[in-house]
Structure 1
Amino acid sequence: MPSSASAPSRARSARPGYRAVLRAPHAGRTFGAALLGRLSYGVVPLALLLAVRDATGSYSAAGAAMALFGLASVLLSPVRAALVDRHGPRRALPPMAVLYSALLLAVAAATARPGTAPAALAALVVAAGACTPPLGPVMRTLWRRLLPDPDLLRRAYSLDGVAEELLFVSGPLLVGLLLPLVGPAGAVVAGAALLLTGALLLVASPLAAPHPRGGDREERQAGADGAAGGGRGRRAGRLGGGRALRSAVLAAAVTGLALGALDLMVVAFAEQQGRPEAVGWVLAALSVGSAVGGLGLGALDRPLPNAVRLPLFTAGLGVALAAAGLAPNLLLLGAAVALAGLFVSPALTTSYLVADEAVAPDARTRAGAWVNTAVNAGSATGGATVGLLVGHLPLPLCFALAAAPALAAVPALRTRDFGGARSRRKSDPAPDPAP
């Protein structure tokens, strides 16, 4: 009798968690290398901004250079990801990482002394942005290769998303520690070193090796066969993905738009309250909420299907963001922002999962890059749009307008099925049918 009574508890304890993700073969080593390189993404933008400002003495020149850097990095991300899909991480990432790091070193050298022409600095910064290696999409592709089990993959993506968000918080803190020691140019050098080291360690992992027996070629053929079986006639090498991929990109874009708008609105709210120093802890509440939401999603044993989660999390973010505009003080604003954060990481994690499952194996890095591009483009658009509205409209109305795209996207995200078993059957090599 004791054995039958204890069977459910043993089953529950045997369910795989985050420890199982990191204990998978080579997972900890590969993930650590990717995080080391991705820490550069949190260091470089602020370091470049400060370095260009010091060299030119102009905030406008520094802002313009960083806008160009961001545009080059975001808009060309799918192109760089396509190179990784075509040639594999070991062949595509090292040249990108070396060139990107070399260009950052050139920027550091040019900004080490004042008087450098702003146009020359802008050219170097744009070239560096164009070469930014897609370490995030590559790592998510490697997670899929390592963890075909859907539950483990969901946990891996949740862990990856939370860790990436923490890197973007800790990156500026690292710059703050480096500035008194090496100055802005030295912080740029540190960012280049982080990226190069992480990228080289990542491609040295056995997970980054081509699949045995012509794995890349087999993956492309599997994708072509799966697409043909699905009746879509998609040729190998093309992105495809259909409505599922479009939904993932749309959800990521409106999430990024909400985040970009929120940053500026929190600044405006804190200034209205006469406490601009409170901006840091309010935005920290957003990060904490996002981390809790992401880890909570990964810890669920039986989550809702992707087709339900994606519109649900997007709607939750929109409602929470609109409600934040009604907060009467900073304390309640922080609570509302933390509530909004609960939906951020789950929405982005689900977007990546949907995109990953919607396309053929040889297009997964590109699909992830499109989601990543949508987040960044949405964030830039949200910040720029709200920047035009704040000061001309009441702040609660600005919050409502920033929430509107997420709420308006919900009907387009509601569909009967995507990102589930049907998508996997179209994109993954299927076992031979039984006779």
Structure 2
Amino acid sequence: MTDSDIPASARRTTAQQSSPTLFSAVGRSYFPIAFVARMPFAMIVVGVLTLVVAGRGSLSLGGINSAMVGLGTALFGSFIGAAADRWGQRYVLLVAGILNCAALTFMAWVVFSPLPDFVVFIAAFAIGATSPQVAPMSRSRIVDIVMSVLPLARRPKVLNATMAYESAADEVIFVFGPFLVGLLATFFTPVAPIIGAIVMTLVFVSAFALHPTGRARQTGTSSRLGERAPAMDMFTAGVFVIILGVFGVGMVFGSTLTALTALTNDIGRPEEAGLIYGVMGIGSAVLAISVALFPSAFALWARLLCFAPILVAGSVILASTESMPIIVMALLLMGTGIGPSLVTLFSLAAERAPLGRSATVMSMAGSAIIVGQSVSSAINGILAEDQGTAVAMAVPVAASAIVLCAGVLNLFVGRRRDRNPDKPTRQRVNGAEEEI
């Protein structure tokens, strides 16, 4: 029997069975390790806030230190990603992890020392500046593996599903991280969350760095061509709207948690803030995973314009009530909007990352989350203390509006890109093709 005697459908089935899958390419241990390895990054803002408030007795000082963490991440997060693009993720992550553990250890000591406050600021800045960018580097690995190993026809669907998973993982981590900080600080000491972050960094960030998927210096399209796009290719309107949108999502995280803490403190049940906040994370993670089921005809620009208004509506309801059942419903509605929005933003980042600059762009987006979270936590903490809970509850509305503005700007950016189709890009994910 020759190949011509075999039905076409049977040949396609055989080819699909013999072709590699994402799980076979990355291994079974990859996703659990990558999931836990991003936990310290989600703990540091609230962990530093908790530690400084306990050690120095000042809520405003704690908020400023949280902002310093965000500032360090904002200034150095993209450089860590750029270093990974140049020298490979393995060495960069190992060095960053060691430096971050040293900064966390210094913070745990200096807060209770007689040294002045500006030394504490330096420690907080160093923590943010050395934070290993696990989540964006995980996305970068997945994008490169999908674009280089999987068959062309399967790439868009697999990439969409993995971006949905990665965003859902971030949702869970950024909700569970503050909860874990509160748990450790309550049952042990305020230093316990910092110690926990050090241990998880040493074990899981190192495991993520040493995983076989991090061995290659460059993968995917960039390795095949042996070149990278100029750094200026990252500073475009298309990348800017992504960073703006992700920054808005981070502001939603930080401002909502701070507002709920102020609200529950007013009613004498401050310990319930984390549990109530988790409602938003549950809805967000579920909807983020469901993005994998969206049809390809549901374009990325349309998804962002569809779900960002839902986020705004939920935040408006949250700001206009003091009824706990309505607050829970508002958080569920916010989660419905925020999950798909975050998935869409990172899918856009994967699509618009210039050749060989995937880790850098993903790190810029990942840093924007922590910057937004830390800035909004600091601002909203001060507002809650000086202006009252009602004002603090309105900040998530402004944060949600930033996400919506990014969606509107992205529509215009997309139309301009459509009018200039010959401009080279790293890859066209939704179109199931690569362009150079």
Instruction: Specify the TM-score bucket, using the shorter chain as the normaliser.
Output: 0.7 to 0.9
Aligned with residue 375 of structure 1, among 369, 377, 385: 369
* TM-fit CA distance, 1:277: 5.5
Is 82-91 or 370-379 further displaced after alignment?
Answer: 370-379
Aligned with residue 293 of structure 1, among 287, 293, 306: 287
**Aligned residues of 1:78 and 1:370 also touching (Cα < 8 A):** yes
Instruction: State the alpha-carbon separation in 2 of the partners of residues 89 and 195 from structure 1.
Output: 15
Quickly say closer, same or farther: Cα 1:98–1:423, change in 2 above 3 A: farther
* TM-fit CA distance, 1:345: 1.8
Match of 2:145 in 1: 146
The 5 A counterparts of 1:256-405 are 256-267=250-261, 269-270=263-264, 278-302=272-296, 304-327=298-321, 329-383=323-377, 388=383, 391=388, 401=398, 403-405=400-402
Aligned with residue 162 of structure 1, among 162, 168, 185: 168
* TM-fit CA distance, 1:35: 2.2
Paired AA for residue 169 in structure 1: V
* TM-fit CA distance, 1:69: 2.2
Instruction: State the alpha-carbon separation in 1 of the partners of residues 126 and 379 from structure 2.
Output: 27
For the pair 1:81 / 2:81, whether they are aligned, the reply is yes
Is 390-399 or 176-185 further displaced after alignment?
Answer: 390-399
Match of 1:123 in 2: 122
Q: Percent identity?
A: 20
**Aligned residues of 2:76 and 2:129 also touching (Cα < 8 A):** yes
**Aligned residues of 1:248 and 1:371 also touching (Cα < 8 A):** yes
Quickly say closer, same or farther: Cα 1:24–1:337, change in 2 above 3 A: same
Instruction: State the alpha-carbon separation in 2 of the partners of residues 398 and 184 from structure 1.
Output: 27
Match of 1:411 in 2: 408
Q: Aligned with 2:132: secondary structure? A: coil
**Aligned residues of 1:288 and 1:341 also touching (Cα < 8 A):** yes
TM value normalised by structure 1: 0.78
* TM-fit CA distance, 1:351: 0.8
Q: Aligned with 2:29: secondary structure? A: helix
Q: Aligned with 1:159: secondary structure? A: helix
Is 276-285 or 67-76 further displaced after alignment?
Answer: 276-285
Instruction: State the alpha-carbon separation in 2 of the partners of residues 125 and 384 from structure 1.
Output: 13
Query: Deviation per CA, 1:386-420, whole angstroms, max 9, x where unpaired?
Result: 55485497788766555444444443222455999
Match of 2:5 in 1: none
Aligned with residue 201 of structure 2, among 180, 186, 195: 195
Paired AA for residue 190 in structure 1: G
Quickly say closer, same or farther: Cα 1:243–1:106, change in 2 above 3 A: closer
* TM-fit CA distance, 1:239: 3.8
> Unaligned regions of 5+ residues in structure 1, if any?
1-10, 225-234
* TM-fit CA distance, 1:354: 0.6
Instruction: State the alpha-carbon separation in 2 of the partners of residues 369 and 214 from structure 1.
Output: 18
Is 407-416 or 125-134 further displaced after alignment?
Answer: 407-416
**Aligned residues of 1:252 and 1:351 also touching (Cα < 8 A):** yes
* TM-fit CA distance, 1:276: 5.2
For the pair 1:133 / 2:135, whether they are aligned, the reply is no
* TM-fit CA distance, 1:136: 1.2
Paired AA for residue 138 in structure 1: M
Query: Deviation per CA, 1:44-102, whole angstroms, max 9, x where unpaired?
Result: 34443444445445545444333322221233211221111121102322111111112
Is 28-37 or 74-83 further displaced after alignment?
Answer: 28-37
Instruction: State the alpha-carbon separation in 2 of the partners of residues 271 and 178 from structure 1.
Output: 19
* TM-fit CA distance, 1:151: 1.4
Is 246-255 or 153-162 further displaced after alignment?
Answer: 246-255
Match of 2:9 in 1: none
Instruction: State the alpha-carbon separation in 2 of the partners of residues 337 and 248 from structure 1.
Output: 24
Q: Aligned with 1:360: secondary structure? A: coil
Paired AA for residue 171 in structure 1: G
Paired AA for residue 426 in structure 1: T
Quickly say closer, same or farther: Cα 1:189–1:345, change in 2 above 3 A: same
**Aligned residues of 1:40 and 1:195 also touching (Cα < 8 A):** yes
Instruction: State the alpha-carbon separation in 2 of the partners of residues 154 and 246 from structure 1.
Output: 21
Paired AA for residue 274 in structure 2: G
State how many pairs are aligned.
402
The 5 A counterparts of 1:88-103 are 88-103=88-103
For the pair 1:207 / 2:204, whether they are aligned, the reply is no
Match of 1:426 in 2: 425
**Aligned residues of 2:30 and 2:211 also touching (Cα < 8 A):** yes
Is 203-212 or 389-398 further displaced after alignment?
Answer: 389-398
Query: Deviation per CA, 1:11-55, whole angstroms, max 9, x where unpaired?
Result: 9xxx99xxx75x342243222222222111233344434444454
**Aligned residues of 1:24 and 1:146 also touching (Cα < 8 A):** no
> Unaligned regions of 5+ residues in structure 2, if any?
1-11, 148-154
Match of 2:7 in 1: none
* TM-fit CA distance, 1:170: 2.8
**Aligned residues of 2:86 and 2:217 also touching (Cα < 8 A):** no
